[in-house]
Amino acid sequence: MAVCEYCRTTVHKDAGAVRDLGKLSEVLEDYSPIQLGTSGKVGGRGFTVIGRIQLRYPAGLWNEWFLMYDDGASGWLGDASGQYMVTSERPLPPGWPAFDAIRVGGQHDLGAGLYVVSDKRTARCTGGQGELPFRVGDGWQARVADLRLGASFATLDYSDGDTPVLYGGVAVTLESMQCQLLRDDEAIKASAGRYRGRVAPLSCPNCGAAIAYLPGLAGNLVCQACATRIDASAPEAVVLETGERAAAVPLTLALGQEAKIGANDYRVLGAMKRMDDDGEEWTEYLLYSTKAQFFWLVETGEGWWRSDVMDEWPLPGTPAVPAATLQRVSYERTLDYPARVTWAAGAFNWRVAVGDRMRVREFEHGQASLSAESNEEELGWSRSTPVAFDQVRAWFKLPAPPKPVKKALGKGDLKWRFLLWIVGLNLIPLLLNFGETLVWLCVALAALFLPPGIVKKGEHE
């Protein structure tokens, strides 16, 4: 199948016959640096991008780029929020699960070990480009489950029926693939109207407040003024749920605040507060740089943490030994609790709403910790390390805390300090000659305390 770049007509080649299948929608908000003709290498094999389909599900969208290798084989390059996975078709082993039987967090043997299900969803095709290995059209649905094993990645695709097609591969980066012919900022702006990764303003359709977001990367918005939820990933912003004005929530880091972290400039895109069932609350800030991936700064009552989403997953433990192993280092499970969103504002790279609940399992080794967060649709791992608040203050150029004011000593304070000195000095001879000194110490204390008491009693009478 091929999609004409000029008129969007789709043409299907079947047993020597060429048929016009109508038109396929243009891809939405084309901000990806990848384009038809982009080339690179994976595992020493050269490839060229010759096609793409764009898939949307309730919480977001992603691209699947069709690759043609120099040796004639083909594969796919997944592109979602700046994370990339390269896969190709693999033989389906016996004992594969039915789509309805798959559960997020479950384990399945795909012929190379036990893979863990990371997400399960049904998505629909919203656009396409170039040459594709099968027939798709507007509304075409993909039923897929993604699985992970360490740095390995796999997809079970049930789009064509109950028997899935297995795709296996690894997580990659554009740098590791040595990509050529990527689109630059000017080329992206020419097709999408804005630069990729550059913050753009949007007025809330409900209250008019300005919301800063990243077109094509973080288009799921929550208005800070009225809590209205907005999907800005399509050409026209769509209100998902209107809200009401509420009192401002105090934050240590403000939305839009900028920081210099290492060699990169970062910006706070979104913030949310979460709480466990014991009432403990913490704040999470989503940070983004045009030259780096998203990461989170987490503010808790015990300090600050930097949390990065992991491409390489730890190996899970067993019920008897609930630990996680990453690069031969064992992390002991310490906590297992539910967390729900109590407040959110700003831009996010997935849909967030007050009341969203996730199960959180934490594993620790030294000062580093691993967290697995899951619900019925997805599972993700992140790695966190502590950050000193002085470091956060330096990154964001926060004002230094006020110095404590020394309290001036009053007459009463001076009196009691004098009395303590007298008692202390009298204790020295008391220790050396207890019998004789005790009498004189009692006389001295009576002289110090009794006269004021007698005077006050006389004044009261």
| pLDDT score of 17 more than 50 | no
Predicted local distance difference test score (pLDDT) of residue 101 = 94
Give CA separation, 18 vs 1, 14, 21, 135, in Å: 9, 7, 10, 13
Q: pLDDT band for position 30 (50/70/90)?
A: low
Predicted local distance difference test score (pLDDT) of residue 246 = 61
Taking the C-alpha atoms of residue 157 and residue 197, their distance in angstroms, rounded to an integer, is: 31
Token code pair at residue 206:
């409900």
DSSP secondary structure code for residue 224 in this structure: T
Predicted local distance difference test score (pLDDT) of residue 116 = 94
Which H or E element spans position 421? Answer: helix 411-432
Q: Average pLDDT of 19-45? A: 73
CA angle, residues 21, 27, 33, in degrees to nearest 5: 135
Taking the C-alpha atoms of residue 198 and residue 214, their distance in angstroms, rounded to an integer, is: 6
| pLDDT score of 23 more than 50 | no
φ, ψ of residue 293 to 5 degrees: the values are -85, 170
Those residues with Cβ within 8 angstroms of residue 340's Cβ, 6 or more apart along the chain or in another chain: 274, 275, 355, 356, 357, 358
| pLDDT score of 118 more than 90 | yes
Taking the C-alpha atoms of residue 368 and residue 305, their distance in angstroms, rounded to an integer, is: 10
pLDDT digits (tens, 9 = 90+) for 353-392: 899 999 999 999 999 999 999 998 899 999 999 999 999 9
- The label of the residue with tokens 């580093």 reads 368
Q: Compare 324 and 434 and report the one with higher pLDDT.
A: 324
Predicted local distance difference test score (pLDDT) of residue 445 = 57
Taking the C-alpha atoms of residue 157 and residue 146, their distance in angstroms, rounded to an integer, is: 9
- Asked whether 200 and 194 are in contact (CB, 8 A), the reply is yes
pLDDT digits (tens, 9 = 90+) for 230-277: 888 766 777 777 776 666 788 999 999 999 998 889 999 999 999 999
pLDDT digits (tens, 9 = 90+) for 178-212: 999 998 878 877 777 677 677 888 888 888 888 88
Q: pLDDT band for position 285 (50/70/90)?
A: very high
Conformational region of residue 231, where left means phi above 0, alpha means psi within -120 to 50, and beta covers everything else: beta
Predicted local distance difference test score (pLDDT) of residue 6 = 55
Q: Average pLDDT of 48-59? A: 88
- Asked whether 357 and 373 are in contact (CB, 8 A), the reply is no
Predicted local distance difference test score (pLDDT) of residue 439 = 61
Give CA separation, 347 vs 64, 197, 207, 223, 268, in Å: 24, 13, 16, 9, 9
Predicted local distance difference test score (pLDDT) of residue 113 = 85
- The label of the residue with tokens 């969103």 reads 341
Number of other residues whose CB lies within 10 A of the CB of residue 84: 20
| pLDDT score of 120 more than 80 | yes
Q: What is the mean pLDDT of the chain?
A: 82
Predicted local distance difference test score (pLDDT) of residue 162 = 92
Taking the C-alpha atoms of residue 388 and residue 188, their distance in angstroms, rounded to an integer, is: 38
Taking the C-alpha atoms of residue 339 and residue 281, their distance in angstroms, rounded to an integer, is: 9
Taking the C-alpha atoms of residue 353 and residue 59, their distance in angstroms, rounded to an integer, is: 11
Q: Compare 80 and 300 and report the one with higher pLDDT.
A: 300
Q: Average pLDDT of 437-454? A: 57
Which of 140-149, 186-195, 212-221, 430-439 is predicted with the least confidence, judged by mean pLDDT? 430-439
- Give, to the nearest 10 degrees, the angle between helix 411-432 and helix 434-460: 150
Taking the C-alpha atoms of residue 151 and residue 148, their distance in angstroms, rounded to an integer, is: 7
Q: Average pLDDT of 34-43? A: 94
Helix (H, G, I), strand (E, B) or coil at 34: coil
Which of 162-166, 293-297, 321-325, 427-431 is predicted with the least confidence, judged by mean pLDDT? 427-431
Biggest CA–CA distance in the chain, Å, is: 123
What DSSP string describes 287-312? Answer: EEETTEEEEEEEEETTEEEEEEE-SS
- Asked whether 384 and 371 are in contact (CB, 8 A), the reply is yes
Predicted local distance difference test score (pLDDT) of residue 18 = 44
What DSSP string describes 137-169? Answer: -TT-EEEEEEEEETTEEEEEE-TTSSS-EEEEE
- Asked whether 229 and 243 are in contact (CB, 8 A), the reply is yes
Q: Average pLDDT of 34-53? A: 94
| pLDDT score of 215 more than 90 | no
Predicted local distance difference test score (pLDDT) of residue 20 = 43
φ, ψ of residue 102 to 5 degrees: the values are -75, 135
Helix (H, G, I), strand (E, B) or coil at 227: coil
Q: pLDDT band for position 441 (50/70/90)?
A: low
| pLDDT score of 4 more than 80 | no
pLDDT digits (tens, 9 = 90+) for 320-353: 567 899 988 999 999 999 999 999 999 998 888 8
| pLDDT score of 302 more than 50 | yes
Predicted local distance difference test score (pLDDT) of residue 436 = 57
Helix (H, G, I), strand (E, B) or coil at 8: coil
In the chain, the N- to C-terminal Cα span, in Å, equals 108
DSSP secondary structure code for residue 214 in this structure: B
